[in-house]
Structure 1
């Protein structure tokens, strides 16, 4: 098969790899029809994620058709059209029994924190991802779901991570009717978080970013107020000013550690990996919410993070909540929102890239070129 492979920082290429085989009776092999490049994939692409090995296939957002199933699989059969959450989970451990699928205890041996994610380095289990023609899906009876007949395949693709994560970010904010919500970051997840905040009763939604084309999308897609932080001496002061000098009720960090790493890296040429990423957006969130407010963290951070204003968060009495999204837990609500027309996920797609051109796709997305917000990958195109 043809598959994306990592060759080192800023280097991916498409190569021939063996079609994955059934390794366990509960496995399924999926023929990928659509995949996507996620903003968090840029941490891998830039060489910022620990233990990203040469030859690894990226891609944790994908949908496709069941090609083969193991002898123990009961819920799927060849030919079924399925969507696969980015989390790999067993469905039966302590955490899965409580719906915390992203914290599954049985899929990433030896990890103290990270769960398992398709195509996200050996830190997250070493499972190859879906930016390929075929992918192996473990625990096939508990992860994938058959795509409803009425659902567009591109909408289903975005529900495997971006929409679910944005919705989860708003959910973690414990938004109540009339709340003012600030979303830091107008990438795909931030835009969906802004949309979701309205669904949860927000009275005002503000999106902060520095790229005008993304802020325009926030205005048209999420109907949010927008602020370009490069236009203000101090964006926190502006956020306080526009909220009667109290601060917002909820702030959602949809940025995380910058995918280029901490500024010290550029000074010393040292590789601090993702744990050295600068938490600017998180500190802005801490400073921008009112006392007693809530911060939801959806951006990607490494295990060690420096320079977070935890003392300020403590003294302000803030609630900080975060996790990798347990995707499948969000699907029943999201299916209804899509079916009722409250969400049309595919509106966020800006680029459709043949698999063979994925190196150019990563370059475009990484460089914020050509108005790129959400690129999807077409394995069958050339």
Structure 2
């Protein structure tokens, strides 16, 4: 089959790889009909390269049609239409019973000290073949896949794999008071969706980004916008947002940017240098050092009102990043973060999507491309070119 494979830093290729086969009686094989390109995939493109191996199949936002099921699978059958969450979670361990699916004890990666495995996401998270491919093996098929109706185009349900539950968890963790103000840093796919959800919840939403097309998208959905470059020229994001909130700051902030933040030239250089080092040197460096670009997180700490909440959805990879602990403590800020526990939120979100399209998912993707267009798409997406906010590949 054809699949998008990592071959080196900034080197994604569509290659022929073996078709997946059933390995456990609880597996299913899915024929992919749509699969997303995520901002987290860009971390593999450059920053987390030391944990990748040439030929790794990437992608963690797939959906499709069940092709085959193992003999122990009772809830799925060939022909069913499913979305596959990016967490590989069993549904029955101690963590899963508490709906902490991103911490599944069955698929935790003890060698690297990380949580549940992900599809298509490096040795750090299990090196499980991903979903930017024609077919995908899905473990725990009686629990993990989300069965969806055959009505509507793929885009109505595809984003249950990651974007919708990640943004929804970010908003829940932000704990915005009724009628409160939510600041969303970043208007990429997660920040865009979180802003839409905040507006729908009745919050005043302020979105910050530096790409005009992205700001226009959230503004059209009801959010106020702040252009990052203009804010920085006028004294910073914190000052700009305080001017809009009576000098106090927003009740809650979502950092939907993470380690890819602009405005951190020193950390950016460290990331690039680390990515070029031999894996044996780079792996322990990433595990023990602070390599993240923290401009967005520092802006969140500065901007949030005293006694407010910061919700971190953007991915960070450095183990020893410097944090403004004095400011966090002095402002009595609450911080919640973590990979989305996707399966915790899917049933609730699916019920909304079956009835309506409250978050504009039908028109959320900016580009629908063939799988063989993936290498160029990665390059343009990283550079925020051609108006790319969300890319969907269709094998």
The answer, yes or no, to whether TM exceeds 0.5 is: yes
Q: Go from structure 1 to structure 2 and tell me whether the alpha carbon gap of 1:346 and 1:308 turns closer, same or farther (over 3 Å shift).
A: farther
Give runs of aligned pairs for residues 170-185 of structure 1, distance below 5 A.
170-185=171-186
Q: Tell me the SS of whatever aligns to 1:255.
A: coil
> Counterpart in 2 of 1:224?
223
Q: Is this contact kept in 2: 1:33–1:378, CA < 8 A?
A: yes
Structure 1 position 164 matched with structure 2 position 165: yes
> Counterpart in 1 of 2:377?
361
Per-residue deviation, residues 64-112 of structure 1 (Å, max 9, x unmatched): 1111111111111111111111111011111100111111011133143
TM-score normalised by L of structure 1: 0.94
Q: 1:310 deviation in Å?
A: 2.2
> Counterpart in 2 of 1:264?
266
Distance 1:325 1:258 in 2: 18
Q: Is this contact kept in 2: 1:176–1:200, CA < 8 A?
A: no
Distance 1:47 1:238 in 2: 31
Q: Is this contact kept in 1: 2:108–2:114, CA < 8 A?
A: no
> Counterpart in 2 of 1:308?
323
Distance 1:235 1:262 in 2: 15
> Counterpart in 2 of 1:128?
129
Distance 1:289 1:359 in 2: 38
Q: 1:321 deviation in Å?
A: 0.3
Give runs of aligned pairs for residues 242-253 of structure 1, distance below 5 A.
242-253=244-255
More off after superposition, 183-192 vs 358-367: 358-367
Distance 2:334 2:49 in 1: 28
Distance 1:135 1:36 in 2: 14
Q: 1:259 deviation in Å?
A: 6.8
Distance 2:109 2:297 in 1: 30
Q: Tell me the SS of whatever aligns to 1:219.
A: helix
> Counterpart in 2 of 1:376?
392
> Counterpart in 1 of 2:281?
none
Distance 1:346 1:299 in 2: 24
Give runs of aligned pairs for residues 3-42 of structure 1, distance below 5 A.
3-42=3-42
Q: Tell me the SS of whatever aligns to 1:291.
A: coil
Distance 2:176 2:2 in 1: 44
Q: Tell me the SS of whatever aligns to 1:186.
A: coil
Q: Which structure features the higher share of helix residues?
A: 2
Distance 2:227 2:237 in 1: 9
Give runs of aligned pairs for residues 84-103 of structure 1, distance below 5 A.
84-103=84-103
Distance 2:241 2:130 in 1: 39
Per-residue deviation, residues 169-214 of structure 1 (Å, max 9, x unmatched): 1011112211100000000100111111133331x10000011111
Q: CA RMSD in A?
A: 1.8
> Counterpart in 1 of 2:300?
285
> Counterpart in 2 of 1:141?
142
Distance 2:340 2:359 in 1: 18
Distance 1:79 1:198 in 2: 37
Task: For structure 2, list consecutive stretches of 5 or more residues without a partner in the other structure.
Answer: 275-284
> Counterpart in 1 of 2:362?
346
Displacement over 6 Å in runs of 4+: none
Task: For structure 1, list consecutive stretches of 5 or more residues without a partner in the other structure.
Answer: none
> Counterpart in 1 of 2:109?
109
